[in-house]
Amino acid sequence: MNAGRLWYVTGLALLALALASGCSRARNDAQIAGEVQGKIYADGNVPTKGITVASSNGIVTLSGNVSSDAERLAAASDAAQVAGVKTVVNNRRSRRRQRRRSLRPNPSRSRNRH
């Protein structure tokens, strides 16, 4: 009876140790970046798939061009929902904003030079 109880206690201890070690592992940056990329690619609100995801100590940086500000915000929201993400730096640019900037007159070119 004591041998059976010893095996039972040993089994429970090993199970508890396995669960504790599995739960205490922090996610590495590659895992976080991969999950963020997958979440963004699966999101129908982010049709533009040209995106770069980088992660460093839980700080995720999104880079690339998107077609609208709504798409830019959706990508940032997706990234923020991933476990292990502490901060999202959204460097994605809306093509609409870029076009507006390019359509603005350049004051240095429009001046008359004498």
The edge-to-edge listing of strands for the beta sheet with 51-56 is 51-56, 59-66, 87-94
DSSP secondary structure code for residue 105 in this structure: -
Question: Which of 3-7, 77-81, 95-99 reaches the highest mean pLDDT?
Answer: 77-81
Q: Domains of the chain: which residue ranges?
A: 27-103
Global model pTM greater than 0.85: no
CATH topology of domain 27-103: Histidine-containing Protein; Chain: A; (3.30.1340)
Q: How confident is the model at residue 77 (pLDDT cuts 50, 70, 90)?
A: very high
* Predicted confidence (pLDDT) per residue in 19-72, tens digit: 555 554 578 999 999 999 999 999 999 998 888 999 999 999 999 999 999 999
Q: Confirm if 62 and 90 have CB atoms less than 8 A apart.
A: yes
